[in-house]
């Protein structure tokens, strides 16, 4: 394509929506994608099923966004959850609503979403160049002037252009092409980059307890985050024990505060409540009833009444009760110890995993320097930002993809 009206750097969720919107408005659009295909990170979302968006209202949605979801009011008012669902339906992708307000394609294939958006962009005349590594975005007298990229033959190509939309993603999942390029471009063009941190990320623990339960996935547990001895937050849902520590939705949601606390060298602990439906007294009564009903059962077998197999040896060890002891012989103090372990199994967090295991990147282009009504830079005319490259991240549940879709759409309007 000679002399495009707009170049979109990155062909992920934000880039695809930006290119579609710009092409719908009649612009000649060129997408430069460093990978061999579009939407590689989208293919990983929702465990390969693509958690497209969430059914939350705008008011509730922005409470899930950090550090300040209010920046997104204009973007969400122009293009929100029902808009992306309608666009996908028009592209032939049926969707379904699941618990937690999460929307997925009915086919449960993320590839269907990516292919539909890519096809729509192509049908609108958008040109894609793959294996194109953007080297620089140039400006002249405060206006975008050109983009230089390295093509598949390792030739440097310079394209004159007046509008560039940076949709390069963050630093998470390097294999998808998200290696932080956009931050470099933005900084060279004068933008402030807020501190980058991995978030929605698993954590490593000091104790061997988690590794001994490796592979065990628990639903309907409660995880409390304790920082410097004070409970700061809690999440109810699913948790996964790994060889290094803890993962799963509840941990990923808590991880933003965990990462920040670790950066500040604070003490971080996670307390797991295996029986959140019962308070201490009710659980104690249930344990006492079970002990009475199974008086001759050895302690080695008792935990089968309360826990999955993979957790039993851990709890037996931590309780410090003789496994040959009969249920009828267990003392009140020992019973209280069992209840305490079930209600409060504590882990000390020593570290978080890196960017390659983080779902998103916290930090990025300072939103104070971006017009929230257009996503255009306040510093350089014709420069736009969309998606994860911005200092915006959110909890799991379809929120991060919707941010990408909405900001991409708004940026594609070119002000």
- Per-residue pLDDT tens digits for 21-42: 999 999 999 999 999 999 888 9
Same domain for 83 and 221: no
- Per-residue pLDDT reduced to its tens digit, 244-288: 999 999 999 999 999 999 999 999 999 999 999 999 999 999 999
Q: Which one of 353, 387, 403 terminates a domain?
A: 353
- Say if 116 falls within a structural domain: yes
Question: Strand 102-105 relative to strand 53-54: parallel, antiparallel, unpaired?
Answer: antiparallel
Answer yes or no: is 1 within a domain: no
Only one residue has tokens 């991880």, namely: 255
Residues of the chain falling short of pLDDT 50: none
Q: Are residues 317 and 398 in the same domain?
A: no
Q: Does 347 lie in the same domain as 405? A: no
Q: Do 280 and 383 have their domain in common? A: no
Q: Are residues 24 and 133 in the same domain?
A: yes
Tell me, yes or no, whether 95 and 147 share the same domain: yes
Same domain for 95 and 20? yes
| Nearest to 389, CA basis, from 131, 145, 193 | 193
Residue 117 CA to residue 187 CA, distance in Å, equals 30
Residue ending a domain, among 328, 353, 378, is 353
Q: Quick check: is 329 in a domain?
A: yes
Residue 81 lies in a domain: yes
The whole-model pTM stands at 0.90
Contact by Cβ (8 Å): 31, 132: no
**Same structural domain, 69 and 191:** yes
CATH number at residue 184: 3.50.50.60
Q: Are 222 and 238 a contacting pair, CB within 8 Å?
A: no
Are residues 166 and 83 part of one domain? Answer: yes
Return all residues near 362 (Cβ < 8 A) that are at least 6 apart.
66, 196, 197, 198, 199, 256, 259, 391, 393
| Total domains present in the chain | 2
358 lies in some domain:
no
**pLDDT tens column, 192-203:** 999 999 999 999
User: Residues 349, 367: one domain?
Assistant: no
Domain that holds residue 172: 6-196+363-412
Buried b (16+ CB within 10 A) or exposed e, 194-224: bebbbbbbbbbbeeebbeebeebebeebbbb
- Using alpha carbons, select from 301, 380, 372, 302 the residue that is nearest to residue 335: 302
> What confidence score (pLDDT) does residue 174 get?
67
Residues 154 and 99 in one domain: yes
d(CA 95, CA 85): 7
Q: What token pair was written down for 208?
A: 């061997």
In a domain, 159, yes or no: yes
Smallest CA-to-CA distance from 164 within 139, 144, 135, 136 is with 144
Of 353, 379, 402, the position where a domain reaches its end is 353
pLDDT at 140: 96
Residues 175 and 218 in one domain: no
């Amino acid at each position: 394509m000679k002399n495009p009206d707009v170049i979109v750097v990155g062909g992920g969720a934000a880039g695809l929506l930006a290119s579609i919107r710009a092409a719908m408005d009649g612009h000649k659009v060129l997408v430069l994608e460093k990978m061999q295909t579009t939407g590689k990170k989208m293919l990983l979302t929702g465990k390969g099923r693509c958690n497209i968006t969430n059914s939350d209202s705008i008011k509730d949605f922005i409470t899930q966004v950090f550090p300040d979801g209010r920046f997104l009011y204009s973007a969400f008012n122009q293009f929100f959850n029902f808009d992306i669902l309608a666009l996908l339906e028009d592209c032939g992708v049926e969707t379904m609503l699941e618990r937690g307000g999460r929307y997925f394609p009915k086919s449960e294939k993320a590839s269907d979403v990516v292919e539909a958006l890519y096809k729509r962009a192509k049908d609108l005349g958008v040109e894609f160049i793959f294996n194109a590594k953007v080297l620089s975005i140039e400006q002249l007298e405060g206006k975008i002037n050109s983009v230089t990229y390295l093509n598949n033959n390792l030739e440097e190509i310079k394209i004159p252009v007046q509008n560039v939309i940076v949709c390069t993603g963050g630093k998470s999942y390097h294999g998808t092409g998200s290696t932080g390029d956009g931050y470099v471009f933005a900084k060279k063009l004068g933008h402030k980059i807020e501190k980058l941190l991995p978030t929605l990320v698993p954590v490593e623990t000091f104790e061997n307890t988690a590794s001994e339960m490796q592979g065990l996935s628990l639903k309907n547990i409660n995880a409390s985050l304790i920082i410097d001895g004070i409970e700061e937050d809690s999440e109810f849902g699913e948790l996964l024990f790994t060889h290094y520590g803890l993962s799963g939705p509840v941990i990923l949601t808590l991880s933003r505060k965990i990462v920040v606390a670790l950066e500040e060298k604070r003490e971080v602990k996670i307390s797991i409540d295996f029986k959140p439906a019962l308070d201490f007294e009710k659980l104690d009564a249930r344990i006492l009833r079970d002990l009475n009903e199974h008086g001759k059962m050895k302690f080695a077998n008792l935990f089968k009444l309360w826990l999955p197999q993979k957790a039993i040896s851990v709890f037996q060890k931590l309780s410090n009760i003789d496994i040959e002891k009969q249920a009828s012989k267990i003392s009140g103090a020992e019973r209280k110890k069992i209840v305490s372990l079930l209600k409060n199994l504590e882990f000390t967090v020593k570290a978080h995993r890196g960017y390659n295991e983080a779902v998103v990147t916290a930090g990025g282009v300072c939103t104070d320097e971006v017009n929230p009504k257009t996503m255009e830079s306040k510093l350089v005319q014709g420069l736009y930002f969309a998606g994860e490259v911005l200092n915006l991240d959110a909890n799991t549940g379809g929120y991060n993809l919707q941010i990408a879709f909405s900001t991409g759409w708004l940026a594609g309007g070119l002000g």
